[in-house]
């Protein structure tokens, strides 16, 4: 009797175990399980052969009968239905195919959410939605789905181009509804903050290629933001004004504000100057020094402005930007009629950036402005204009974008060249090299008045 009871308990336990296995098995049981495995194999074979219509039958079987058996159901499925969508012309059926793909992504997250990032799958869902809907894409949907994904992953968002698509959707929403301007601005700064953190993370683990990709992505996003017109001085000032006091000792925040204002050309705004002073007290940087220099220049303290622009140029890591800071000094010196000092600053600008055509333009204009004071004989002043034109031609050579402005000055200055007869009487011939004395102290090639 005890043996019979023992066998009965064992039988119940075995039956319970069998039932448990049937419940947890993603392939079903018995023949159903066999058919699922067979159809998964057929699905894979057809899919790899790009026979999407042939893959539809086995895909349908496994999706309906064993939906949790393989993630490939949800990887292959969208491709199958996108192919059918591309060949379908009936609008209703096309929309049904879009809805089907969206359903697949929802079920993928349901059945395999424990294996992969929900945010990443949501991004893929959004991409397929945009691809299938094309110019009928609802940007509010893109904004919602990618917003959820980014909120979940922050700086670790993968794929990273979700940042770009999210901000594009935010911008397009703002284009249709101007009341969303502030939201777009807020989205921009939040996303660029995530990207900056992602760049730092990539650099920390020596993933240079990733860091470079993210830097390029950020540059494109920033260019789009500047071109959008949403981030003008007034908008940024309103956005940051009530945050300054609480963050006056926050170096990261202050740098963010300066960078943002700098991007949209607000370098002379009161906010830029105020933030520069706060940051300069914490840690002098090139941008902060420029803000301080702007205030000094505005108040007429040119010596302080020159000192700060010089400091900014030396702190700046970008050579072109440093060159532009030195040009600020050159212009201040020129306005003071300190011709030698102005040229020295312009030459320093060229040391940072040999292709700064504006430096050559300034030197040329300085030469022309002092033409009456170089030679004791007034008839020789045309040689000074020869030297001025040399600089203008050099400006065009290094920066062709200045050609129109430089050529206009060249036409003007050429009218002041020596004429052939006067030059002959002085023993000066066209094409010869002559020394221009005084503070200019250069050699030029003689050209005569046209």
Task: Tell whether pTM > 0.75.
Answer: no
Q: Where are the domains of the chain?
A: 24-113, 117-231, 355-450
Low-confidence ranges of the chain (pLDDT < 70): 1-32
Burial of 273 (0-12, 13-18, 19+ CB in 10 A): buried
- Residue 2: its pLDDT value, please? 43
- Residue 15: its pLDDT value, please? 40
- Residue 11: its pLDDT value, please? 40
- Residue 5: its pLDDT value, please? 42
Token reading at 293: 């220099």
């Amino acid at each position: 009797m005890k043996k019979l009871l023992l066998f009965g308990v064992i039988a119940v336990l075995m039956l319970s175990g069998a039932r448990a296995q049937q419940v947890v098995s993603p392939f079903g049981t018995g023949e159903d399980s066999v058919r699922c495995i067979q159809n998964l194999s057929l699905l894979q074979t057809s899919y790899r052969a790009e026979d999407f219509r042939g893959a539809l039958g086995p895909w349908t079987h496994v999706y309906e009968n064993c939906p949790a058996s393989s993630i490939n159901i949800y990887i292959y499925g969208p491709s199958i239905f996108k192919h059918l969508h591309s060949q379908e012309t009936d609008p209703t059926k096309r929309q049904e195919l879009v809805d089907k793909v969206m359903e697949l992504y929802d079920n993928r997250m349901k059945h395999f959410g424990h294996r992969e990032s929900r945010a990443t799958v949501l991004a893929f869902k959004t991409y397929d939605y945009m691809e299938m809907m094309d110019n009928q894409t609802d940007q509010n949907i893109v904004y919602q789905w990618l917003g959820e994904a980014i909120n979940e992953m922050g700086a670790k968002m993968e794929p990273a181009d979700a940042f770009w698509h999210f901000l594009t959707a935010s911008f397009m929403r703002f284009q249709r509804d101007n009341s969303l301007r502030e939201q777009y601005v807020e989205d921009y700064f939040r996303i660029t903050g995530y990207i900056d953190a992602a760049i730092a993370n990539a650099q920390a683990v020596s993933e240079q290629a990733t860091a470079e990709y993210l830097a390029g992505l950020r540059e494109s996003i920033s260019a789009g933001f500047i071109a959008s017109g949403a981030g003008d001085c007034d908008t940024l000032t309103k956005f940051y004004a009530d945050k300054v006091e609480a963050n006056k000792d926050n170096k990261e925040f202050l740098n963010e504000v300066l960078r943002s204002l700098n991007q949209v050309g607000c370098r002379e705004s009161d906010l830029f100057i105020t933030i520069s002073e706060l940051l300069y007290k914490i840690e002098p940087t090139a941008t902060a020094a420029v803000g301080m220099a702007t205030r000094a220049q505005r108040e007429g303290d040119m010596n302080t402005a020159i000192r700060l622009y010089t400091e900014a140029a030396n702190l700046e890591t970008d050579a072109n930007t440093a060159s532009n800071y030195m040009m600020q000094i050159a212009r201040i010196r020129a306005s003071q009629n300190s011709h030698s000092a102005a040229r020295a600053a312009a030459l320093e600008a060229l040391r940072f950036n040999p292709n700064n055509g504006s430096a050559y333009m300034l030197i040329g204009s300085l030469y022309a402005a002092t033409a009456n004071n170089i030679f004791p004989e007034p008839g020789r002043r045309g040689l000074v204009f020869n030297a001025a034109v040399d600089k203008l031609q050099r400006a065009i050579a290094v920066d062709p974008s200045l050609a129109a402005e430089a050529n206009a000055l060249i036409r003007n200055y050429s009218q002041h060249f020596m004429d052939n007869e006067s030059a002959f009487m002085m023993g000066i011939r066209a094409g010869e090299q002559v020394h221009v004395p005084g503070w200019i102290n250069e050699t030029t090639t003689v050209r005569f008045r046209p």
